Structure 1
């Protein structure tokens, strides 16, 4: 009997591998699983611990791998969202710029648009409507508007108003003002900048504003009708006209008194029509102004350097109708302003220009001498002479001296007329 040859370690391992291959050949379909018996010789404890460690290691590796993948995926999603957001913003900006460009192009080419053009807005196709060019506003001057007033039509209107409001003269005068407001409504503010005119013009130019543009027939028809209205109604109408003018003045100045709120400019009705009807009333019935002088002198709403040119214009209109009323109003309402501390050089010069205009009028000497005493009052009262003396001695400046010399010469001329 042959002795059994001892099997070496290498042969034993090779046999185990072949057996394992043959056992798994049918189930693995040709794939082979390599088994190392050397590792199986380790103790169960060591094997179990190694198995646990390997399991933990695989699990940790898998966890680390997937967390990295998920982290990169989150970063990619964030980058994609950020790119989408930027793309949406850029698209919105481009769409807005495109709409602005199209709007500008449509406004520039509105005359060249065709009925068949189409525009796409939010995916909808709409036909583009042709735009008509706005007609240019035709500038109408005061003279052009005044020339269109028909004297016969005005006369017929006044007859109807007088019949409808027979005993209500004030309402008749208001309707009279409405007629001229409609006649001068085409005249815009820029065509009659009365505030600028009153600041820059001389008294000689202001005296004819704006009646120099009214036709003679219209003026005569109006003044003949005004002459038949009551003095009380005319007095109320004159004050209403002044209040309207001063309200328009506040609008031009930009702020109301006691407020910082910006106010819109007034309509052209207050600028043209009110001046026209007020001037005609003052020229035809200047005596009415005498009864209003105390109110104009004492009421604060008629005081101030900004309102002085309007008051001066009112007295100039009254002096056109009656020189005596003009000088009387000047002495009682304007002369005290000259010596006031608040009076500036420009206002003082305008006041003296009006006095010189009154005294240089045709036949002024005979008219003023005959009207030296009016309704129990002197044309130049002693208080005016006292004011002249206080203003003359002492004179605070050379300019004041020149002004006082002009006033003194006027009073000397008046006294010479009276002595003659």
Structure 2
């Protein structure tokens, strides 16, 4: 027989003024929601969603039943968010991601929308189970950018799907996966996955620490990295009952753990509200935030903008490369001109005392000196000491100095 050991933690981060995340670790249900919509709505959205979805926490006969219950709970939460905006127009534009697990025996029902993530650690390997519903993920899937480029892409916060007042029938990813004792599941908001690297997640999850210790460790890593967004972590271990620490009381963290706070309902009419259920930007918030498409053509506009950015990057790279080549050519030319302003005295190939223009060193196969003037004096006719100096070359300050050296050597050869 196997059971669950779980933990949930949530933190406002180091930049945001309020926590718009919510998390839940229950008997069989585990959820993370990342709200958006600015200071006025993100916390409300995630709290409403988690409070509604956790009503589905319970035992189910089959994973298929749990999957359907999860999907129904998310749809119900979406409707509740739309109703809340209808009654509180000041919350227009609020929304939330949701990533949820429901344990049924040796299977796990999963429901997901947005860019919060679900990971599975098994047999020393960490895999991302959920797929981000973001603009940059579409670019990655289409091969336009790499995973590394997606981490720093200027549109990485653009969400294509969320729960909220933007779509009456949102598309929710659901699936059923097998699970077994020893598995460790992680659900987190992008305040963790967008800051802490995959290898660091793997290292933390690979320890034998209890779920609460692992969750605290991951939270600390995000805070140490600056935590520009709210951070919520839910850890679920599929463990033998004998090991203890089975979840007895559900844990709720983040906005859902506090009473909802928003203004009194403002009078409005449904007829005026329903036509505006379209994707639109969220209100700005302190620090990084999420946005959603404003129109049906928004994705095409973003792709066009990304292609323009790619062309600018290529042009910048080509200009930079050309400038580098020009700089190298100029450096070589100026360097060569400098070497040709230098002179030294040495032995010519014919064994005569000669004046060389250039420097003694060569640059690979490139010879940086040549015979400028050759005298009639044989190196062999020089005294032994002078002969060694000529064979080792004698530096001169200029051409006149080189000629003076040759005159001295000529006199030495006569004597």
Structure 1-normalised TM-score? 0.21
Structure that is richer in helix per residue: 1
Structure that is richer in strand per residue: 2
Structure 2-normalised TM-score? 0.22
Higher relative contact order (CA 8 A, sep 6+): 2
